[in-house]
């Protein structure tokens, strides 16, 4: 707007213009009003569009910010985990490696099987170990001697949290697996002074019905106790052999633990194991290794009790009794040809017989 136009507008508003000059100014003002309306109509949509675009852009910015924040947090947490896990694993290895803790826990599982499971054994190559974050798993394939062969019973999955054992998962492949916690009515071995709570009717008639080309496992309870050396005399003139001895520890006559619950038998293999890794290898007498096993398991009695088919083991009382009175067997497990085992029918030393596993001839 130039100076002349400004002066004309001033003169117009002051009434100093002629009628013709005033009309000319009014026409110019009308033109300016028309221009203003056109500009307003043209600029208003652009302004609204600008405001709408700004709103969408703000939403995208917020979403991107949230996504970036989540990604950053995830990356941070992942980085922390990747740093912590190796440290914890190293600490776990140190925990189980310190003082051979892992090896001791493996031995707890192995020796519990040999001591508390009649006629059950392990193979070194079938014992596997797995480490986790302060967890330790031992997987063991278990076997039983029937005739001259060791037959597979299945496997045990033993888990430790730190050093505390969990009840093992026992995966049996035999027809009649043992109960997790045996009861008196399922008992198969009886002390001479104990009442028989599970009398098997006519076991020798059942043996007689089995084909001649078979071998069997039988649980034998005796009328008296015998030293391990004298146990062989029970099988005179019978082509069969002891594979596991049930040992009198002073509690079997009553058949109860010191707390009043059912107490399962304990014992050890009748023959040395030729494998050097076995707790009953040929380097020492099995009687000595049995006592060593009990003393070792006494240090881990809580874990051993959890792993065994038992609620109590009372190892301290049993060890004291055995150290004072020596080892005496009141029965155990015998295996051999079925028809040979029939010769035990008239054996006066035998009080009770229970039939275990039966297999085809391998004698």
Q: How far apart are CA 201 and CA 8, in angstroms?
A: 137
Q: What is the pLDDT of residues 226-252, one digit of tens each?
A: 999 999 999 988 999 999 999 999 999
Lowest-pLDDT choice from 100-104, 181-185, 294-298: 181-185
Q: What is the pLDDT of residues 117-171, one digit of tens each?
A: 999 999 988 899 888 888 889 999 999 999 999 999 999 999 999 989 999 999 9
pLDDT at 225 over 70: yes
**Range in 78-87, 88-97, 145-154, 203-212 the model is least confident about:** 78-87
Helix (H, G, I), strand (E, B) or coil at 296: helix
The confidence score (pLDDT) of residue 118 equals: 96
Among candidates 82, 306, 57, 331, which has minimal Cα distance to 191?
A: 331
Closest CA to 210 of 363, 362, 358: 358
User: Strand pairing partners for 157?
Assistant: 139, 169
Can you give the pLDDT at residue 57? 66
Tell me, what's the pLDDT at 35? 61
How high is the pLDDT of residue 5? 66
Confidence of residue 13 (pLDDT cuts 50, 70, 90): low
Residue 53 has pLDDT above 60, yes or no: no
pLDDT level of residue 88 (50, 70, 90 thresholds): confident
All residues at 6 or more sequence positions from 99 whose CB lies less than 8 Å from its CB, including other chains: none
Per the rule left: phi > 0, alpha: psi between -120 and 50, beta: everything else, 237 is left
Q: Domain boundaries in the chain?
A: 3-94, 106-360
| pLDDT mean across residues, the chain | 86
How far is residue 65 from each of residues 2, 133, 178, 354, measured CA to CA in Å? 52, 36, 62, 76
Whether the per-residue pLDDT at 269 is higher than 90: the answer is: yes
Q: What is the DSSP string of 88-141?
A: HHHHHHHHHHGGGHHHHHHHHHHHHHHHHSTTEEEEEEEEEEEE-SSEEEEEEE
Span 310-357, pLDDT tens digits: 889 999 999 999 999 999 999 999 999 999 999 999 999 999 999 999
Residue 46 reports pLDDT greater than 60: no
**Residue 7 pLDDT level (bands cut at 50, 70, 90):** confident
pLDDT at site 124? 85
DSSP class of 200: P
Contact 305, 181 (CB under 8 A): no
Q: What pLDDT is recorded for position 107? A: 95
Query: How much of the chain is helix, strand and coil, in % rounded to 5?
Result: 45, 25, 30
What predicted TM-score, i.e. pTM, was given to this entire model? 0.77
Q: Which of 63-72, 87-96, 155-164 has the lowest mean pLDDT?
A: 63-72
The model's confidence at residue 258, banded by pLDDT at 50, 70 and 90, is: confident
Strand partners, 242: 334
pLDDT of residue 93: 73
- pLDDT at site 177: 86
Least confident of 25-39, 58-72, 122-136, 146-160: 25-39
User: What is the arithmetic mean of pLDDT over 287-298?
Assistant: 97
pLDDT at residue 271, rounded to an integer: 94
**Residues in a beta bridge with 220:** 332, 353
């Amino acid at each position: 707007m130039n100076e002349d136009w400004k002066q004309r507008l001033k003169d117009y508003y002051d009434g100093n213009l002629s009628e013709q000059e005033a009309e000319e100014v009014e026409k110019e003002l009308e033109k300016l009003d028309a221009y203003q309306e056109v500009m307003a109509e043209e600029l208003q949509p652009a302004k609204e569009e600008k405001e709408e675009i700004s709103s969408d852009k703000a939403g995208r910015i917020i979403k991107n910010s949230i996504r970036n924040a989540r990604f950053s947090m995830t990356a941070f947490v992942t980085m922390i985990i990747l740093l912590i896990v190796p440290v914890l694993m190293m600490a776990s290895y140190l925990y189980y490696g310190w003082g051979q803790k892992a090896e001791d826990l493996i031995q707890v599982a192995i020796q519990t099987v040999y001591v508390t499971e009649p006629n059950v054994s392990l193979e070194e190559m079938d014992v596997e170990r797995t480490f986790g974050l302060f967890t330790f798993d031992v997987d063991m394939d278990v076997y039983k001697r029937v005739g001259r062969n060791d037959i597979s019973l299945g496997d045990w999955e033993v888990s430790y949290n730190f050093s505390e054992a969990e009840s093992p998962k026992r995966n049996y492949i035999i027809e009649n697996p043992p109960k997790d916690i045996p009861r008196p009515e399922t008992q198969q071995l009886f002390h001479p002074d104990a009442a028989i709570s599970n009398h098997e009717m006519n076991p020798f008639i059942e043996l007689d019905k089995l084909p001649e080309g078979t071998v069997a496992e039988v649980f034998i309870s005796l009328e008296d106790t015998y030293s391990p050396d004298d146990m062989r005399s029970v099988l005179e003139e019978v082509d069969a052999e002891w594979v596991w001895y049930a040992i009198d520890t002073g509690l079997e006559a009553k058949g109860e633990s010191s707390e009043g619950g059912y107490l399962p038998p304990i014992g050890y293999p009748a023959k040395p194991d030729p494998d050097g890794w076995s707790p009953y290898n040929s380097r020492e007498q099995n009687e000595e290794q049995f006592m060593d096993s009990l003393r070792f398991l006494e240090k881990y009695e809580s874990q051993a009790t959890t792993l065994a088919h038992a609620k109590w083991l009372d190892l301290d009382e049993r060890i004291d009794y055995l150290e004072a009175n020596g080892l005496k067997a009141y029965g155990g497990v015998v295996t051999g040809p079925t028809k040979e085992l029939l010769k035990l029918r008239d054996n006066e030393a035998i009080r009770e017989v229970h039939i275990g596993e039966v297999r085809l001839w391998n004698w």
